[in-house]
Copies of this chain bind each other. A is one copy, B any other.
């Protein structure tokens, strides 16, 4: 399956690079379109002050990307939001999270029984939310079935390049990394920020 549409789920106080790192990667993938979605549409402001225009509905995307950030703290307690999010996750063939975006995914219970990782500074908090997830303390990113979960912030770039490998081949991913002048960490087990846990 080619990735033609990637929907990025935004919410106030998302972490800018969690979203924009993978957006750069998929935006450089020929034929792939990014869409920006939020619960109610309209303007969404990141923790770093970027105001992004979003839609409140789109067709069926090929993949969704859920960033993390301070905004996840309240949303993990928001049953309405988690139900809304679940619908998207259940219907897409590929779901990616960056950083504490995995806290939202874990909040839907759809990650139960799966391997996953998260931001390493927030690891205690994220893992405390759902003990049915097999949390990995040493992983740049983890793939388990249709779920890709990455470590903190910039790790999302490495994970997104791996998704390009898995869907479009290594040559395409290497070309995008080179175009970005990015030194790609392409080994999921190479986690310079791993925590004891």
Contact = CB atoms under 8 A, between A and B. Distances in A.
A51 B48 contact: no
A28 B178 CA distance: 27
B192 A180 contact: no
Given A181-B152, A185-B183, A193-B181, A52 B51 contact: yes
A36 interface: yes
Contacts of A33: 49
B119 A181 contact: yes
A82 to B, nearest CB: 25
Interface in A41-72: 43, 46-53
A126 B53 CA distance: 31
Contact of A17 (B20, B53, B192): B20
Interface of A: 15-17, 20-21, 23-24, 26-28, 33-36, 43, 46-53, 119-121, 151-155, 157, 178-183, 185, 192-193
15 contacts: A17-B24, A27-B49, A28-B48, A36-B49, A43-B53, A51-B52, A119-B181, A121-B179, A152-B179, A152-B180, A153-B181, A154-B157, A154-B182, A183-B183, A183-B192
